[in-house]
Structure 1
Amino acid sequence: MSEFAKKTIIVTGGTRGIGHGIASAFLQEGARVYVCGRSQPDTLPEWNGRSAGFIQADVRKEEQIQLVIDRTLAETGRLDILINNAGGSPEADAATASTGFSEAIIRLNLIAPLIFSQKACEAMRKTGGCGSIINIASVSGVRPSPGTAAYGAAKAGLINLTQSLAQEWGPDIRVNSIIAGLMQTEAADDHYEGSSGLQKIAAVLPLKRLGRPEDIAAACLFLSSDAAAYISGASLEVTGGGEPPVHRVLAEQTRNGKDTSQ
Structure 2
Amino acid sequence: MNALTKKTVIITGGAQGMGAATARLLTQQGARVVVADVAEEPGKSLVAELGDTASFFPLDVTSESDWQAALLHTLEHHGTVTSLVNNAGINYFSGVLDIEEEKVMRLLSINVLGAMLGVKTIAPAIKQGGSGGAIVNISSLDGLRAVNGLSAYVASKWALRGLTKAQALELGPDIRVNSVHPGGVNTQLGNPTGITGEELNQPYTRVPLRRIGEPNEIAAATAFLISDAASYMTGAELAVDGGWTAGYYHAGLPGGPE
Q: TM-score, normalised by structure 1?
A: 0.88
The verdict on how the C-alpha distance between 1:108 and 1:48 changes in structure 2, with shifts beyond 3 A counting, is: closer
Alpha-carbon spacing, 1:195–1:92, altered in 2? closer, same or farther (3 Å): farther
* Change over 3 Å in CA distance of 1:184–1:44 after alignment to 2: same
Work out the CA distance in 2 between the residues paired with 1:166 and 1:71.
Answer: 26
1:231–1:138: structure 2 CA closer, same or farther, 3 Å change rule?
same
5 Å-filtered alignment, 1:90-109, equals 90-109=92-111
**Which protein is bigger by CA-based radius of gyration?**
1
RMSD over aligned Cα atoms:
2.5
Amino acid across the alignment from 1:69: L
Q: Unmatched 5+ residue regions in structure 1?
A: 257-262
In the alignment, is the contact (CA less than 8 A) between 1:15 and 1:35 conserved in 2? yes
Greater CA drift, 218-227 or 198-207: 198-207
CA contact (8 A) 1:189 1:195 kept: no
Aligned identity (percent) is 34
2:88 aligned residue (86, 89, 97): 86
1:255: how far off? 8.4
Who is 1:182 aligned against?
184
* Superposition pairs of residues 59-70 of structure 1, within 5 angstroms: 59-70=61-72
* Distance in 1 (alpha carbons) for counterparts of 2:100 and 2:79: 43
The answer to whether the aligner puts 1:228 opposite 2:235 as a matched pair is no
**Contact 1:83/1:136 (8 A) holds in 2:** yes
Does the 8 Å contact 1:79/1:128 carry over to 2? no
When normalised by structure 2's length, the TM-score is 0.89
**Contact kept in structure 2, 1:24 and 1:47, CA below 8 Å:** no
- Which residue number corresponds to residue 20 of structure 1? 20
The answer on 1:71 being equivalent to 2:38 is no
Separation in structure 2 between the aligned mates of residue 85 and residue 19 of structure 1, nearest angstrom: 6
Output aligned runs, 1:231-250, within 5 Å: 231-242=233-244, 248-249=250-251
How many pairs align?
Answer: 255
- Cα 1:206–1:90 change in 2 (3 A) is same
Deviation at 1:115, TM superposition (A): 1.1
Retained in 2: the 8 A contact 1:77–1:127? no
Q: Using the TM superposition, give the Cα deviation of residue 238 of structure 1 relative to its aligned residue in structure 2, in angstroms.
A: 0.6
Q: Which moved more, 1:133-142 or 1:119-128?
A: 119-128
